[in-house]
Amino acid sequence: MAAIPHHIAIVMDGNGRWATRRFLPRVAGHKKGLDALRVCVRHCGEVGVKVLTVFAFSSENWNRPPEEVSGLMELLAGALSREVPQLHGEGVRIHFIGDRSRLSDKVQAGLAQAEKATAGNTRLVFNICFNYGGRWDVAQAAACLAARGEPITEHSLDRAMALAHVSDPDLLIRTGGEQRISNFLLWQAAYSELYFSDKLWPDFDPAALDAAIADYGRRERRFGRTSEQTTPARQAA
Ligand code: IPE
Ligand code: IPE
Ligand code: MG
């Protein structure tokens, strides 16, 4: 059986285009995107992925039209009440990653509550990056160390990053056809396998995820070594 990535990270891109193609408002695409995410989380649990990290709202997404930003905030608030009990029932542990200070007090309380309620779950760790940027993460980690008077090393920075509770992503997927990182996991994606899908996020179904996982299974991860070092069988051949 091909290797299943322990940690999958996803840039869920293409909601707006999905809606625009149907002459719908962009927020309708984000709603469909939430449906796709629900299915994706469940499928990850079923196939044995242990950590799923998704990019839901970037530090730069505040620059979108105000009605889209408020639609996304409402979607988050609604998801907190509607989705969390279900995820809890499925053994999912939720973490919100990002700068919460700009979110409303009510949403901040909802995030903390969701994390607390699911803290004992072990089936799947689900990190939701919201108001997140890779540069923000590096800067906040460095600021944290500086405030504590600790030396800045690769190890100490890594420990102070927002995803210190999980290993780095093995597979990083971006849907929607663009091939860029858009300020997602700049630090943690150092050795992630990258997979780009032309499917728009609302169309990214379990079969598409299986295809990405199968593609990952065919990659050779070398981490700077040679192919011969990585695959002993080749050395013998
Ligand atoms: C990604 O979909 C979701 C968010 C950024 C919140 P987009 O809204 O970026 O969709 P496109 O790229 O415009 O199609
Ligand atoms: C990245 O998508 C952010 C999320 C998916 C939340 P964007 O649509 O914001 O990225 P760019 O603007 O195309 O780089
Ligand atoms: Mg986009």
Which ligand 1 atom lies nearest to the CA of residue 72?
A: 6
Q: Say what the alpha-carbon torsion angle 152, 158, 164, 167 is, to the nearest 10 degrees.
A: -160
In this prediction, residue 231 carries a pLDDT of 79
Asked, for residue 193, whether it belongs to a domain, the answer is: yes
In a domain, 57, yes or no: yes
User: What range does the domain containing 206 cover?
Assistant: 7-216
Which residues lie closer than 8 Å to 131 by C-beta, 6 or more apart?
Answer: 57, 58, 59, 62, 98, 99, 100, 102, 103
* 51 occurs within a structural domain: yes
Q: Is residue 231 included in any domain, yes or no? A: no
**Taking 80 as the threshold, does the pLDDT of residue 2 lie above it?**
no
- Catalytic one among 15, 35, 61, 198? 61
> Residue 207 domain-assigned?
yes
* Pocket perturbation via mutation, ligand 1, pick of 10, 11, 17 by most ligand atoms within 8 A of CB: 17
Looking up tokens 């420990």, which residue turns up? 159
Q: Is residue 222 part of a domain?
A: no
For the chain, the C-alpha Rg in angstroms (whole number) is 18
Report the domain count for the chain.
1
Under the banding of pLDDT at 50, 70 and 90, the label for residue 222 is very high
Protein residue closest via CA to atom 5 of ligand 1: 57
Residue 12 pLDDT: 98
CB of 92 shorter than 6 A to ligand 2: no
Q: Are 47 and 212 in contact (CB under 8 A)?
A: no
Overall pTM > 0.95: yes
pLDDT level of residue 234 (50, 70, 90 thresholds): low
| Mean pLDDT over the full length of the chain | 96
pLDDT by residue (tens digit) across 21-48? 999 999 999 999 999 999 999 999 999 9
For residue 39, the CA-to-ligand 2 centroid distance in Å is 21
Write the pLDDT tens digit of every residue in 62-111. 999 999 999 999 999 999 999 999 999 999 999 999 999 999 999 999 99
Mutate to test the pocket of ligand 2, among 34, 61, 184, 185 (most ligand atoms within 8 A of CB): 61
What pLDDT was estimated at residue 85? 96
Judge whether 158 counts as a catalytic residue: no
Shortest-distance atom of ligand 2 to CA 56: 6
Asked, for residue 123, whether it belongs to a domain, the answer is yes
Q: What spacing in Å lies between the alpha carbon of 193 and ligand 3's midpoint?
A: 21
- Tell me the per-residue pLDDT of 141-176, one tens digit each, with 9 for 90 and over: 999 999 999 999 999 999 999 999 999 999 999 999
Kindly give the residue spans of alpha helices, DSSP state H, lying in the chain: 15-20, 26-47, 66-82, 84-89, 105-117, 134-148, 154-160, 206-217, 227-230, 232-236
Across residues 196-202, what is the average pLDDT?
A: 98
Distance 200 CA to ligand 1 centre (A): 9
Which of 11, 55, 69 to mutate to test ligand 2, by most ligand atoms within 8 A of the CB atom? 11
Which CATH number belongs to the domain containing residue 34 in this structure?
3.40.1180.10
125 found inside a domain: yes
Return the HEC string of 120-160.
CCCCEEEEEEEEECHHHHHHHHHHHHHHHCCCCCHHHHHHH
CB 180 less than 6 A from any atom of ligand 2? yes
pLDDT on residue 236 = 55
